[in-house]
Amino acid sequence: MALRIRTSKFRHVYGTQCRREQTFENVRITRNTHDSNFCSVNPRSLAVVTESSGGGSFAILDVNR
């Protein structure tokens, strides 16, 4: 039996850093560990779970600002 090694399509992929105008800063998410999602994104908005006591608090940020 011949040994086959699968080649990766993503071997030499390099990312570029986004400009400051294209990022969100100082978004504090919860420190509690859960088996759930901390954020959800669509083409118009970004929703993140925030740190607060009691209840499901979250923030919705407009992607287009």
27-59 per-position pLDDT tens digit: 776 666 665 667 888 899 988 887 766 667 788
Quick one: pLDDT at residue 44?
Answer: 92
* pTM of the model as a whole: 0.50
Of 5-14, 16-25, 43-52, least confident by mean pLDDT is 5-14
All structural domains of the chain with their residue ranges:
25-62
**pLDDT higher at 31 or 11:** 11
End-to-end CA distance of the chain: 58
Residue 10 has pLDDT above 80, yes or no: no
- DSSP sequence for 12-32: T----PPPGGG-----PBP-S
